[in-house]
Structure 1
């Protein structure tokens, strides 16, 4: 298997690394399909309780590899790129009932920025920047950029960033609610690992139900969401982890969740 996607599983955390550093981890067809397969494998693996998505080298992801789309021999065409590459990646990230942490290690541009924003918890170090680079070459944001960005930061700010293609620093991204938190550059990997281990040891079924609830809140009305909360709360209350959480609280001890 070509190593344009690397996978490491340790301590119930799966770390998926985009690994085309020579082109700033920009996507070609091979890498896009490998990422989908890797996400599927992590979803099916019961020993995986948290997923970290990051990049190798100086960039997280520069988006689409433009050499591919400008090559007469290699160009899959935008219809195939969107319907077979990026759209399935976004839906997988959102539908996996496990937390997906976007550990943004460098510039995230174009589709790379929007894949980052689709993750459940997004952290970046202070040297990172995000850019909706599409309009700068005559395109529109894809990979759910027009869906998530206005919901994260508001319509007006999203409209400006999408149209102007301004670069947003990690600090600014945290300030406006685009990402969860900025972590120190010098011990970024260590801090990401702490976060991932914490989430891997939380009640996985409940986190999955939180994710499903938030997904549906994007289109539900109030009454629909209240009904959904009732349904999922009953489901959460039937898990082993809920029983353990209550017991630990009553016994004044730290809970030991098993993800069941």
Structure 2
């Protein structure tokens, strides 16, 4: 962000995975925009990390534990993956954490069922669509409804991490938007994913989780879907 305050903001090919560039190749920044971060914008981005990053990550982790508590066979798969990881790595290995397929599938399926989270200051035309977003109009993308649409996700109300294993992925890339998509996606996506992966695999490796009789209840505030509480029973693994 400090660099962006001094230099033009452009898409840096070194900072984008090849898979991401291919996935979102039809969405590109225009060549005629020169944008740097103002001091207020830089401060706003820093505040976003605290306000959006920590609460949403903690909620996602809690909901992951709630779901695997209800599905012991899935919890066992995750435990075996965690055991293999910690037998080989005593600390944090970023690349290896990213490659844990079942861990990633559990997190992605939780975010599909329970997505965490929109006013332009001038008219804006969406390229190639014929759609104009009017100044001061609020734009809302119905992520919750999209994530539970049977057109994109079979049996959408059931927790099935396997749907996000590479060989099973069949949904349209824009039907799954826990972090948004394209060059304007969530600035803290990689940080949040790293936090959730490391925390989840660490606690599953040490503890066993069982479902609580208390059902999940949610409220909506500040654009976020927030559980009133997430209750599970916990037992230390021997």
Common topology (TM > 0.5): no
More strand by share: 1
TM-score normalized with structure 2 length:
0.23
